[in-house]
Chains A and B, each alone.
Chain A
Amino acid sequence: MIPLSWYLVLSALLFSIGLFGVLARRNAVAILLGIELMLNAVNINLASFWRYGNTAQMGGQVFAIIVFAVAAAEVAVGLALIISVYRRRKTVLAEEIDLMKW
C-alpha cells in the first residue's frame, strides 16, 4: 500500500521543480509552464488528501476541479498577455519586459 507521504513528497518535488522553472527561465511562456507544474502539484496534493482522508467529503475533489478552472483561466489570460506584449515589444524574454521600474 502506498503511504500518503509518497504522494506528498512527489507533489513537493514537482512543486519545487515548477518553482525553479518560474524563477529561472527566460522565456515568459516557459514561466507559465512552470506555473502549470506547480498547479498540478497542488492538485496531486488535494487529491491525495481526499483519498487518504474522508472520501465522503467531496471538498477535496471539488477544490481540485476549481483549481483546474482557475488554471485554465489563468493560462488563457496569461498567454493572451504574452502575445499582446510580444506584438508590441517583439520579445518574450521576461528580463526585457521591465518598464515598471525606477
Chain B
Amino acid sequence: MDASQIIFGLTALLIIFSALRVVTTRNMVHAALWLIVTLFGVTVLYALLQANFLAVVQVVVYVGAIAILFIFAIMLTRREIRDSGPQLNRGWLLAAFISLAVFGSLLALLYNAPVAGRLAGSLTGEDTLMALGQALVSPDAYVLPFEVASVLLLAALIGAVYVALNKKQESDQ
C-alpha cells in the first residue's frame, strides 16, 4: 500500500458514495450538489492519472458550467420548493437489476482481458500539455474533430437558445 493507492481508495469511495446519493436523493438540489461532489472526485482521479489538463477542464466545464446549468434548470422547473412524491419510477427494480447485470457483464469482460493488470509507465520528462495542444490543432492529428466539436457547440448553443426561447404569446397563457 503506497500513497497513491490510499488516495485512490478514498477518492473512489467518495465518488461512489456521492454517485449513489445523486441517484437516490429525493431533493433535486441535493442531487445536483452531490453531483458536484462526484465531479470533484473525478477531478482528483484525473490528477492521479497525471492528466492535468483534463482535471482543470473538468472543474471549469463540468463543475463551473454544467453543474450550475443543472441547478438553474432545477430551479426553473420546480412547482414547489419541496419535492414530494417518490423519486423512483415503477420500474426501478428492473432498472436496478439491469444495472447490476451491466456491471456484472463489464466485470466479466474485465476479468478475461489481459490488459487489466497493467501498471503505469513513467511519465517524467514529457511535456504532455504541449503535446496535447499540438495534437488538438495539428492537421496531422486531431484538428478536424476539434473543429467539428466547435461547430457542435455552436449548434447546441443556438439550439438551446431557440428551444428555450420564451415566445411572447405562449408565455402569456
Classify A-B as touching or not with yes or no (CB < 8 A): yes
Chain A residues in the interface with B (C-beta under 8 A) = 1-10, 12-21, 23-27, 29-30, 32-34, 36-37, 40, 43-44, 47-48, 50-52, 55-56, 58-59, 61-62, 64-66, 68-77, 79-84, 86-88, 90, 92, 94-95
Asked whether B10 is an interface residue with its Cβ less than 8 Å from the other chain, the reply is no
Complex contact B103–A16 (CB within 8 A): yes
A29-B32 Cα distance, complex, nearest whole Å = 9
Chain B residues in the interface with A (C-beta under 8 A) = 2, 4-5, 8, 12, 15-16, 19-20, 22-23, 28, 31-32, 35, 38-39, 42, 45-46, 48-51, 53-54, 57-58, 61-62, 65-66, 69-70, 72-74, 76-77, 79, 83, 85-92, 94-96, 98-100, 102-103, 106-107, 110, 115-121, 123, 126, 128, 131-132, 135-136, 141-142, 145-146, 149-150, 152-153, 155-157, 159-161, 163-164, 166, 170-171
Q: Which residues of B contact A50 (CB under 8 A)?
A: 49, 51
Q: Inter-chain contact count A-B, CB under 8 Å?
A: 252
Complex contact A5–B116 (CB within 8 A): yes
Complex contact A95–B66 (CB within 8 A): no
Complex contact A65–B116 (CB within 8 A): no
Given contacts A15-B102, A20-B23, A30-B28, 9 further A-B pairs with CB under 8 A are: A2-B48, A12-B107, A20-B98, A33-B31, A36-B66, A62-B136, A75-B66, A77-B156, A77-B160
